[in-house]
Structure 1
Amino acid sequence: MSPVKRTLPALEFTNSPLIIALAQVRMTPVLSLENYIPKLQDLLRATGYPRLIKRVIKATRQDAIGKMDVIESTDWVFGDKAGHFALLVGERGLGLFTSSYHTFEDFAGRLNECLQLVHQVVNINGVERLGLRYVDLIEPTPEKPLSYFLESCVLGLPLQELGKRVSGLSQTIIETSPHQKLVVRTTERSKGLVIPPDLLSLQLKLRKPNTLEQPFGILDLDHFAEYPETDDYDTASVIRKFGELHDIVDQAFRKATTDDAKSDWK
Structure 2
Amino acid sequence: MGRKMKNAPVYFAVGQVQHNPLLNLSTFLPAIQERLRKAGYPGFKHSSSMQFTLSPAMASSENDQMPQPGLQKVDRYLFSDIWGKNGFLLQSNSLMFRTTEYDTFPEFLTRLELGLSILDEVVGGLSYFDRLGLRYLDAVAPRPGESVNAYLANEVTGLPAKISDATFAYAFAETSMLSEGIGQVISRTIIQAGVLGFPPDLGPDDLVINPRFKEISGEHAMIDTDGFSEGRHQFNLGLIREKLDSIHGLIDKCFHATVSDHGREQWNA
TM-score normalised by L of structure 2: 0.88
CA shift at 1:115, angstroms? 1.1
Please state whether the residue corresponding to 1:116 is helix, strand or coil: helix
**In structure 1, what is the equivalent of residue 135 of structure 2?**
133
From 50, 56, 79, give the equivalent of 1:58.
50
**In structure 1, what is the equivalent of residue 205 of structure 2?**
202
From 216, 227, 242, give the equivalent of 2:220.
216
**In structure 2, what is the equivalent of residue 180 of structure 1?**
183
From 148, 151, 154, give the equivalent of 1:149.
151
Distance 1:179 1:249, change over 3 A: closer
From 164, 189, 203, give the equivalent of 2:192.
189
**In 2, Cα distance between equivalents of 1:251 and 1:78:** 31
1:171 matched to 2:153? The reply is no
**Contact 2:18/2:130, CA 8 A, preserved across alignment:** yes
Which moved further from structure 2: 67-76 or 239-248? 67-76
CA shift at 1:193, angstroms? 4.3
Paired letter, 1:70: L
Structure 2: state its 5+ residue gaps: 56-64
**1:13-39 per-position Cα deviation (integer Å, ceiling 9, x unaligned):** 111111011111111111111111111
**In 1, Cα distance between equivalents of 2:259 and 2:29:** 42
CA shift at 1:211, angstroms? 6.6
**In 2, Cα distance between equivalents of 1:176 and 1:143:** 39
Which moved further from structure 2: 256-265 or 67-76? 67-76
CA shift at 1:142, angstroms? 5.5
Which moved further from structure 2: 196-205 or 134-143? 196-205
TM-score normalised by L of structure 1: 0.89
**Contact 1:86/1:202, CA 8 A, preserved across alignment:** no
**In structure 2, what is the equivalent of residue 82 of structure 1?**
83
CA shift at 1:215, angstroms? 2.0
Paired letter, 1:219: I
**In 1, Cα distance between equivalents of 2:228 and 2:131:** 7
**In structure 1, what is the equivalent of residue 12 of structure 2?**
20
Runs of 4+ in structure 1 over 6 Å off: none
Distance 1:147 1:213, change over 3 A: closer
Please state whether the residue corresponding to 2:102 is helix, strand or coil: coil
* Structure showing greater Rg: 2
From 236, 257, 264, give the equivalent of 1:262.
264
**In 1, Cα distance between equivalents of 2:238 and 2:190:** 35
**In 1, Cα distance between equivalents of 2:200 and 2:110:** 27
**In 1, Cα distance between equivalents of 2:215 and 2:202:** 14
**In 2, Cα distance between equivalents of 1:114 and 1:151:** 37
Which moved further from structure 2: 85-94 or 158-167? 158-167
**In 1, Cα distance between equivalents of 2:41 and 2:199:** 23
Structure 1: state its 5+ residue gaps: 1-8
**1:119-163 per-position Cα deviation (integer Å, ceiling 9, x unaligned):** 111221101100011110111246321211110222333351672
**In structure 2, what is the equivalent of residue 3 of structure 1?**
none
Percent identical pairs in the alignment equals 25
Which moved further from structure 2: 113-122 or 174-183? 174-183
**In structure 1, what is the equivalent of residue 247 of structure 2?**
245
Distance 1:161 1:84, change over 3 A: closer
**Contact 2:141/2:216, CA 8 A, preserved across alignment:** no
How many residues are paired up?
256
CA shift at 1:68, angstroms? 3.1
**In 1, Cα distance between equivalents of 2:213 and 2:246:** 32
Distance 1:260 1:17, change over 3 A: same
Distance 1:209 1:263, change over 3 A: closer
1:120 matched to 2:124? The reply is no
**Contact 2:78/2:88, CA 8 A, preserved across alignment:** yes
